[in-house]
Amino acid sequence: MMKILETLLKVKIGIVFFSIFFAGPTPLLLGNNDTVLIKSCINQMFEGMAAFDSSMVHRSFADGFLLRSVIKSKDGSIIAREESGDSFLKIIGTKKPGVRYDERLLSYTILIDGDMAIVWTPYHFYLTDIFSHCGVNAFTMVKLPEGWKILSITDTRRKGDCAE
């Protein structure tokens, strides 16, 4: 009985290795790796923001990246505001004494189709340990030869209704 179990285990291991080395990695394995790399890219951007390191942030972005915010004004109208990537990098590269940016992502929803991904991340933003606002980031990602990069970010911002 023990020999039969050992033989079955060897056959299963052989099939897995054959599948990976001769048939290529499965989409499941690739998807998991892409998910890790996408999260790593996004986390690198936020680490760079916290450190006021614009070059670290810049390495997370594809050329020509855009930032947009969807904001409700005090009168209730919706404003869609766009900021250039260069303008954002200039803000990040300007260290303000005593100021800290702390954007806390609550979760990730990642959808991947080949070399494009969409990432949905609810967040809470703190400015020097004081709650500022909450919302959702919608990242559009692209897989380039050097890895996953952020093509654009559209976020929402609100002061209240920020359940965790």
Q: What are 116-152's pLDDT values in tens digits?
A: 999 999 999 999 999 999 999 999 999 999 999 999 9
Q: Decide if pLDDT at 12 tops 90.
A: no
What amino acid occupies position 22? F
The architecture that CATH gives domain 26-157 is: Roll (3.10)
Q: What is the DSSP letter of 160?
A: S
Sign of CA dihedral 123, 39, 89, 140: negative
Q: What is the mean pLDDT of residues 15-29?
A: 41
Exposure b/e, 89-106, CB count within 10 A at least 16 = b: beebeeeeeeeebbbeee
Mean local confidence (pLDDT), 1-18:
48
Which pLDDT score, from 0 to 100, does residue 43 have?
A: 97
Whole-prediction pTM: 0.77
Give the mean pLDDT of 89-109. Answer: 92
**Model confidence band, residue 31 (pLDDT cutoffs 50, 70, 90):** low
Name the residue with higher pLDDT: 62 or 25: 62
* pLDDT for res 159: 86
Whether the CB-CB separation of 139 and 152 falls below 8 Å is answered with yes
- What's the pLDDT score for residue 14? 45
How is the chain split into domains, by residue range?
26-157
Q: Could you tell me the CA-to-CA distances from 61 to 41, 50, 119, 126 in Å, in that order?
A: 9, 16, 14, 23
pLDDT of residue 22: 42
Query: Do the Cβ atoms of 124 and 131 come closer than 8 Å?
Result: yes
Q: What would the pLDDT profile of 47-98 be if each residue is shown by its tens digit?
A: 999 999 999 999 999 999 999 999 998 899 999 999 998 999 999 998 888 8
